Amino acid sequence: MPRAVQTPRRVRFTPFPQVSLSPSNTDAILPLDDFTSNLSDADQSVVLAALSDIEQLSPSNNRSQSREQNEADTNTITPRSSLAHIFINNECFMSRSKEWTRVLDPGTQGLITKVPNCTHLEVQSAVSAAQAAQPDWEALGFQSRRDYLLKLIDVLRGMSTDIMKILSREVGKTAGEAESEVFRGLDCIHAACSIGPEMAGMFLGSDPTLLQTFYEPLGVCVTITPFSFPFMTPLWSIPYALITGNTVVLKPSEKAPSVSCLLSEAVLRAGLPPGVFNLVHGDHSVVQMLILQLPVQAVSFVGSESAAKQVHDISRKAGKRIQAECGGKNHGVILDDASVMPTLFAIAGSAFGAGGQRCMSLSVALFVGQTREWIPKLVEIAESMVVGYSADEETKVGPLIDRSAKKKVIGFIDRAVEEGATLLCDGRNALVPGYPDGNFVGPTIITDVETYMECYQSEIYGPVLICMQVDTLDEAIDLINQNKYGNGCSLFTTSGKHAKTFQRGVNVGQIGINIPLIAPYGTAVRTSNKGSFMGGGKEVPGQAELIPVEDPATGETFALCHAASQDDINKAVETAHEAFKSGVWSRASRHHRADVLEQCATLLTDALPQLIPLETRQTGRAIREMSAQVPSLVKWFKYYASLLRVEERSVLPTSGKLHNFVDRRPLGVVVQITPFNHPLLIAVKKLAPALAAGNSVIVKPSELTPLSTLFLAKILHQAGLPSGVLSVLPGYGATTGKALVSHPLVRKVDVTGGTAAGKAIGSIVGGNLAKYTAELGGKAPLLVFEKANIDAAVNGIAFGSFIASGQTCVASTRIIVQDSIMVEVLEKLKTKVQGITSRMGAPTNPESMMGSLISEKQLKHVEKLVNQALETGFGVALTGARRMTGTSPLDGFDFSKGPFYEPTVIVPGKDNNIVHASIWHEEAFGPVIVVAGFDTEEEAIALANHSEFGLGAGVWTQDLSQAFRVSEQIDAGIVWVNTHHRNDPSSPWGGAKSASGVGSENGIDAYHAYTTTKSTIMNFATAEECLETEDWFVSASKDVRYG
């Protein structure tokens, strides 16, 4: 990694009046007269007004004695004549900003201080100071930097009483909460001081002189922190940035600036060099200014989900390394073998402590089985918790940070009641004697909550606990994994088996067993998943855009995924190529590769509880479908593992004393492009034979559904795939996909997608003389003859047509029915379809029959084709033909949230010319079928072949002779007789016409397609025989061989 600063440069600061903090004067802030004398008249008026507000801070006539005493105590820390200062190059300044925000005591609404919205020049100066200081700070070395941080610990420990008082006054923390925060913050610095061994370099290769790797600092880092933990949160990142040789600019929450001001004083007392730590204040505009400063290399953010997304987006577009920790909706699961009272006290403390204003609060309690009977005891505990002013010793629940936070929390509670939830404990009207203006909300417990309710879907950030009831631990795990947040969760049990099941099953960053989630300290790692964590230290650098991953059924963005940049692509291909050449996988024995594939099957089975709901959420498909499909995928790994062990290699017959051994060798780097409709299924179908053959593989999943493929890659590496053998690069087809298939080192491309895209990719791949397999479009005919079992055929039509909401390349979208049974088939089909429609609901509901389409764009495409058929009169709607709105009769799900379309059957209109409609010829890729009639077998076959596509087809008849006869004449790569969609790893899957692709998946053919043959011809004749027959240049009269 190149050094962040190539040319060190010192900067002197003159724009601001200066004052230094000395260790002997903890309250040294720029004097009022000295400060204002350097300002313009306009600036003086702004600051004098601010100072006047603070000086006028005195007990009002109606203020109680307890409030007077609390304010008197606090004023020993913060002088009445001070504003929140900025800190640049070890100097304190009063900002020249004309925008100042009032910081109020959350318990009294009394004014504590004012914080500026720093100017662009102030932000620029802070970053420039950090940039100038960084080379010398790096050059000091680890030991010296550690000594400075150890000194900082000593200084902060001496200031801990003042810090705790400010935490209590400005943030509303109780004494115990403030003490705990200070302890954990100091421990984070201790942990940073101990990472020396992790920074040590390493030698690579057998010769230590060949290659040495070591870590270098990035340069200038920006830390943006929230109000909830103003002391501890900065110390999650700043000590690690400093100990590794970076310099820092801190921008704390404008709601709680005073602790950061004390931190700057501690930096000065500890003797850290100028510019190493800098402090600015402000709102989102200051955040943006900071990120866009060119010297800034990395950003660490902790805050709300919406703010995190904005910071993340700005940072990535600006090319900055970004780590953003945001919202949480953490679940606590209670099993009936848990210790009752310790568990309930732990739940209550986590949910209501710090006023619930922490991302690690257990805000949802899942009572499993009979533990629901414990809820009344939990209510008693909540009602016994004292709500009060933070400085009062009896207080267990302090005030919320400001009035807007209180209003927001009460609003969530109000809407929960409106949506049908029940309040077992209502804290909306909490009254604290002597503090009528405080932002108090008491502990609140809500039950009878459904997952679609706003109180469950959103982070409330207040003392509110959702209580839900499930029957089994598996249900609890599924519920946790379906939630968009993934900070953490806890399990309360005395069973080691249950703890292990829970640990493996939940997809979150942190897990507590018989303990609530706690903020990290020491060497604890702070991680989270899904919508709670974006970026991170291991994120591949690059400037590609951020892809939102949406739940199609609700339109909710529940994850963000980075598209691969050109640099990422080049690195992935080159790494794959090097791994291939190294032989670590390509030349591994077939038995070893088989062992790894079997381990893949085992780990994939273990991960099913996470993969099934994830696949459901990112595709919008019904979970009943995914619960059937995803478990079947282990068969592909097992099949190709078995194939590796039993496949025989040929010894071909030759003339003479020769043996011709034919071996198969992997191709090299292969690229696989997979679609949105079956993300895991199609990825596994391609990966299993490619890896079995020994190739290095790069998968580019659909930008709509990348998450399960990324999850799968982790499983495969855990199974034993060597580093570099498998990469997953999310991105868009026009950029990431095109760059991958164009790369000259790629020796094969395997794509599943639309016909147009397949042809475009094929032309690129052909230019590189690489191998190509493509499974493309389909418009599968399904023929129903009069000798068919009509009930079975109707069930087959429904399954073949509406599974995956019709979004599959082999969907039976052209139903061709013999005229003699047409009326009966349509009557039964209509009843069947109406039954499906009536039982549609939330895709996560196991009772729901069918899910949504992938996107609004896809729904509009379906609508366009259907409307064209109806408006031209070529077709008439027997069922459906409209998008779904309103609520589901099955479970109350709101269909208007997503692109839901009713299962639709279109029958012939005027003159039976349905075959002239566009929808007969074009892929709708939705739950729509078109019905046409026929009289003779020949007519049926002609209708079936009346298409540019030739992927799949179905035949329903009990006449075995007819079944053979018709299936032989249908132009399709796959023909199902009296069934549909059957898919086995051993059975080839590919098209018979160009519009449906080239080559095939599955079976030994797919394996061979990922290999090239190598013939070794061995002459075992004696030397004399060779001289007799092998000398081409012997005398002309003698016979010689040729070939």
SS3 sequence of 638-698: HHHHHHHHHCCCCEECCCCCEEEEEEEEECCEEEEECCCCCHHHHHHHHHHHHHHCCCEEE
CA 879-885-888 angle, 5° bins: 85
pLDDT the model gives residue 885: 94
Residue 860 CB neighbours (<10 A): 12
Which amino acid, one-letter code, is at 142?
A: F
Q: Give the distance, in angstroms, between the CA of residue 80 and the centroid of all CA atoms in the same chain.
A: 47
Which amino acid, one-letter code, is at 452?
A: Y
Contacts (Cβ under 8 Å, ≥6 apart) of 534: 308, 309, 312, 322, 323, 324, 326, 560
Sheet holding 974-977, edge to edge: 875-879, 904-908, 928-934, 812-818, 780-784, 952-956, 974-977
d(CA 439, CA 409): 11
Q: Can you give the three-state secondary structure of 191-234, one letter per residue? A: HHCCCHHHHCCEEECCCCCCEEECCCCCCEEEEECCCCCCCHHH
Q: How many residues does the chain have?
A: 1043
Question: What is the H or E stretch that residue 408 is in?
Answer: helix 403-418
pLDDT the model gives residue 745: 96
Q: Do residues 472 and 368 lie in contact, with contact meaning Cβ atoms separated by under 8 Å?
A: yes
CA 46-49-52 angle, 5° bins: 150
Every domain range in the chain assigned CATH 3.40.309.10? 331-530+1013-1030, 780-1001
Structure token digits, residue 630: 């995803």
Distances (CA, A) of 1020 to 733, 959, 1014, 1015, 1024: 53, 57, 19, 16, 11
- Strands 91-93 and 464-470 come out as unpaired
Task: Please confirm, yes or no, whether 475 is among the known catalytic residues.
Answer: no
pLDDT the model gives residue 391: 86
Q: Do residues 438 and 352 lie in contact, with contact meaning Cβ atoms separated by under 8 Å?
A: no
Q: What is the DSSP string of 12-38?
A: ---SS--B--BTTBTT----HHHHHTT
Contacts (Cβ under 8 Å, ≥6 apart) of 921: 779, 947, 948
Per the rule left: phi > 0, alpha: psi between -120 and 50, beta: everything else, 461 is: left
- Strands 485-486 and 444-447 come out as unpaired
CA 975-980-986 angle, 5° bins: 65
Q: 331-530+1013-1030 falls under which CATH superfamily?
A: Aldehyde Dehydrogenase; Chain A, domain 2 (3.40.309.10)
Every domain range in the chain assigned CATH 3.40.605.10? 85-325, 545-769
pLDDT the model gives residue 935: 95
CA 170-172-174 angle, 5° bins: 125
Structure token digits, residue 538: 């291991």
Count of alpha carbons within 13 angstroms of residue 602, beta-carbon side:
11
CATH number of 545-769: 3.40.605.10
Distances (CA, A) of 988 to 27, 665, 932, 969: 80, 21, 29, 18
Structure letter (DSSP) for residue 806 = G
pLDDT the model gives residue 6: 24
Buried b / exposed e across 376-406, counting CB within 10 Å, b at 16+?
eebbebbeebebbbbbbeebbbbbbbbeebb
pLDDT along the chain (1043 residues), means of 10: 26 27 30 36 40 31 34 33 84 92 92 93 95 94 90 94 92 88 88 73 47 75 92 92 95 94 94 96 93 92 85 83 83 91 89 86 92 94 92 90 93 92 93 92 94 88 93 92 82 85 81 71 45 37 66 87 86 94 94 95 92 94 94 95 89 78 91 95 96 97 93 92 93 92 95 91 89 92 97 96 94 96 97 96 95 95 95 93 95 95 93 87 95 96 94 95 95 93 88 86 92 84 73 60 55
d(CA 549, CA 551): 7
CA 33-37-43 angle, 5° bins: 105
Beta-bridge mates of residue 664: 1013
Which amino acid, one-letter code, is at 755?
A: T
Structure token digits, residue 566: 């050109």
Classify domain 85-325 at the CATH class level: alpha beta
Residue with tokens 């709607």, as numbered in its chain: 877
Backbone angles phi, psi at 925, to 5 degrees: 55, 50
Question: What is the H or E stretch that residue 977 is in?
Answer: strand 974-977
The CA-based dihedral angle spanning residues 392, 395, 397, 402, taken in that order and rounded to the nearest 10 degrees? -20
What pTM was estimated for this model as a whole? 0.54
Structure token digits, residue 802: 């509406």
pLDDT the model gives residue 78: 34
CA 832-835-836 angle, 5° bins: 90
507 closest CA partner among 535, 470, 532:
532
Q: Do residues 623 and 611 lie in contact, with contact meaning Cβ atoms separated by under 8 Å?
A: no
The CA-based dihedral angle spanning residues 109, 110, 112, 118, taken in that order and rounded to the nearest 10 degrees? 60
pLDDT the model gives residue 1029: 66
Catalytic residue among 91, 265, 550, 775: 775
Distances (CA, A) of 770 to 744, 764, 775: 9, 9, 17
Residue with tokens 């794959």, as numbered in its chain: 576
Beta-bridge mates of residue 330: 362
762 closest CA partner among 1003, 572, 996:
996
- Strands 100-104 and 111-116 come out as antiparallel
Residue with tokens 């004399």, as numbered in its chain: 1024
Classify domain 780-1001 at the CATH class level: alpha beta
Q: Do residues 549 and 896 lie in contact, with contact meaning Cβ atoms separated by under 8 Å?
A: no
d(CA 479, CA 216): 42
Structure token digits, residue 340: 């009752």
Report helix, strand or coil for 478.
helix
